[in-house]
Chains A and B, each alone.
Chain A
Amino acid sequence: MNKILLIALFLLAVLIPFPAFADDDSEDITKNLGWIAIGCGVVANLPFVLLNKYRRYAVSAGGQSLQTARKIGIVFKPILNFHIMMNSIGYFAGITHGMLLSRHLDSISLSLVITMTLLMGSGLMLKYSSSRHVKLFQRLLHGQFGLVILLITLVILHVLTADD
């Protein structure tokens, strides 16, 4: 009971809502918001990517690692749901942020919107499409290394040029 109370208090302390605005005059607040968003992105994507890579490795390696992968398979669905939930929140929060601050639109923001929409669209089609061919195409497109690198670069550039 005490442990649960401690964890709840810790989570409450970390997640206490605090008003902060991206168009604030203070440069620190703007950049900190950006780094928090990047941190959320890492939390949303890194466990899912690592789990996926390990599963693929285990299937090809076989033996002991295949048994471990089967055990890990139990947590695959919750981690996938967490990945979808966090990225959906991030996408819609990002779009709202863009609409509210559209007067500051620059090429990095526009590129970011295009890349995010493409990845979100491919993720949605991957989840909801029933066609095998569409699923295969979207699975490959959603995990394209080039697109991931492009997104990371654009997000970091967007944060670094936030005060301009």
Chain B
Amino acid sequence: MEREREREHDDEGLSIGSDAGNLILLVTIGAIIASVGFTGFKILRTKRPAVSKK
């Protein structure tokens, strides 16, 4: 019984809803949002070059 509970606890390590699992998902979604945002920023920056003031 004790061992079974221990094994269940071990299985929770990376399962969805656990702390480590949520962290991995958050990092993934954060990295994707950052990549998409950075790509958009890069395009906007190259399309609108800074106008130098005379």
Contacts and interface: CB of A to CB of B under 8 A. Distances in A.
Interface of A: 105-108, 110-111, 114-115, 118, 136-137, 140-141, 144, 146-147, 150, 154, 157, 161, 164
A69 to B, nearest CB: 23
B14 to A, nearest CB: 4
Contacts, number: 58
A61 B39 CA distance: 26
Contacts of A107: 14-16, 18, 20-22, 24-25
B11 interface: yes
A76 B43 CA distance: 26
Nearest to A112: B28
Contacts of A141: 35-36, 39
B43 A154 contact: no
Of all A-B residue pairs in the complex, the 7 with the closest CB atoms, nearest first, are A107-B21, A111-B28, A107-B24, A106-B14, A144-B35, A140-B39, A141-B39
Interface size class of B (residues with CB under 8 A): 20 to 34
Contacts of A164: 10-11, 13-14
Contact of A108 (B14, B35, B38, B42): B14
Contacts of B21: 106-107
A150 B24 CA distance: 11
Given A115-B32, A147-B31, A161-B14, A110 B25 contact: yes
